[in-house]
């Protein structure tokens, strides 16, 4: 089994060579399988439009929702299609901690495939609550999407959150989310888990805020930072995607504090294979008895 406990820097140095979402060299040589087991979300980002379809290459999209009990079969088939796969990830299409399905899936996969890296992506609202359970299920790398650490800016990016069975709006919602994200990053980092932070760069909203995010998440324990361009849609469809110059400026500002990852492919929640090459998900999904769509309710 991969020994990435103990010294955190040693763990990151090793993982960045074999995890395609952590290192540039690994990004073109190793693969990942995303298991779309998470149907619901507990926050609503103004740029997010979750969907089940075959034709969009972006986060928040999958052909359908996979049952955890089909995960082992799916991983086995994925490894047959792409032996270069080193990572089993769960990245949606909803939030991975809004339901118990991601942790249940990781437990099953880790028992059968202990040598594969288990990787989770989350909005971070509940990360602190499930940190130990994730670690015990074999998760050693986590990506947390942090789009602001200022509640006023965050309130322009999210419309609401659902936390402890109550819906919150505005800056109150934003503050809860920010506090929980930083608490979760710190807790995972202290467990020895490698934490990467994603930020969606939104011109006119958080583009001048990236440096502060980078410094804050680094102080909380994050190791790597990934700044990805806005896909104009949903409530932010009127905002243009950032230019290459704007992306470069944001990444340069962030690099004052934290290492920046520059190879993100905006992967679907059911992606399979080596990033940038032919996606193999069409050979995996669509025939499972428990593959379902979800409600946007």
DSSP string of 161-229, one letter each residue: EEETTEEEEHHHHHHHHHHHHHHHHHHHHHTT-EEEEEEEE-TTTTTTSHHHHHHHHHHHT--EEEEEE
Residue 142, both tokens: 């986590």
User: Which residues pair with residue 62 across a beta bridge?
Assistant: 52
Judge whether 206 and 250 are in contact, CB under 8 Å.
no
Residue 297 has a pLDDT of 26
Q: pLDDT tens digits for 165-214?
A: 999 999 999 999 999 999 999 999 999 999 999 999 999 999 999 999 99
Element (H, E) at 135: helix 127-136
Domains of the chain, first to last: 8-283 (3.20.20.70)
All residue ranges of the chain with pLDDT < 50 are: 1-10, 25-26, 53, 58, 287-297
Residue 1 has a pLDDT of 34
- Give yes or no for a cis peptide into 93 (omega within 30° of 0): yes
Residue 166 has a pLDDT of 96
pTM recorded for the entire structure:
0.83
CB-based contacts of 33, cutoff 8 Å, min separation 6: 74, 75, 78, 82, 85, 87, 88, 89, 271, 272, 284
Q: What is the CA radius of gyration of the chain?
A: 18
């Amino acid at each position: 089994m991969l020994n990435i406990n103990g010294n955190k820097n040693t763990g990151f140095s090793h993982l960045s060579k074999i995890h395609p979402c952590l290192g540039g060299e690994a990004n073109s040589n190793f693969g990942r399988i995303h298991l779309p087991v998470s149907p619901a979300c507990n926050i609503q980002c103004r740029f997010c439009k979750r969907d089940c379809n075959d034709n969009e290459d972006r986060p928040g999209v999958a052909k359908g929702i996979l049952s955890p009990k089909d995960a082992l079969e799916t991983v086995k088939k994925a490894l047959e299609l792409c032996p270069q796969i080193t990572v089993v990830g769960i990245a949606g299409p909803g939030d991975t901690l809004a339901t118990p399905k991601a942790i249940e899936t990781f437990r099953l996969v880790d028992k059968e495939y202990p040598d594969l890296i288990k990787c989770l992506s989350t909005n971070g609202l509940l990360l602190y609550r499930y940190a130990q359970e994730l670690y015990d299920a074999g998760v050693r790398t986590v990506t947390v999407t942090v789009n602001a650490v200022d509640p006023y800016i965050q309130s322009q990016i999210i419309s609401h959150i659902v936390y402890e069975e109550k819906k919150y709006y505005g800056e109150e919602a934003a503050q809860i989310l920010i506090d929980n994200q930083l608490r979760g990053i710190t807790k995972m980092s202290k467990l020895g888990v490698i934490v990467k932070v994603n930020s969606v760069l939104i011109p006119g909203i958080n583009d001048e805020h990236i440096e502060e995010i980078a410094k804050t998440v680094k102080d909380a324990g994050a190791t790597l930072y990934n700044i990805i361009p806005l896909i104009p849609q949903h409530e932010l469809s009127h905002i243009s995607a950032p230019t290459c110059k704007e992306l470069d400026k944001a990444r340069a500002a962030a690099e004052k504090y934290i290492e920046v990852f520059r190879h993100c492919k905006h992967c679907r929640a059911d992606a399979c294979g080596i990033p940038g090459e032919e996606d193999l998900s069409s050979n995996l999904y669509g025939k499972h008895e428990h593959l379902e769509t979800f409600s946007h309710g």
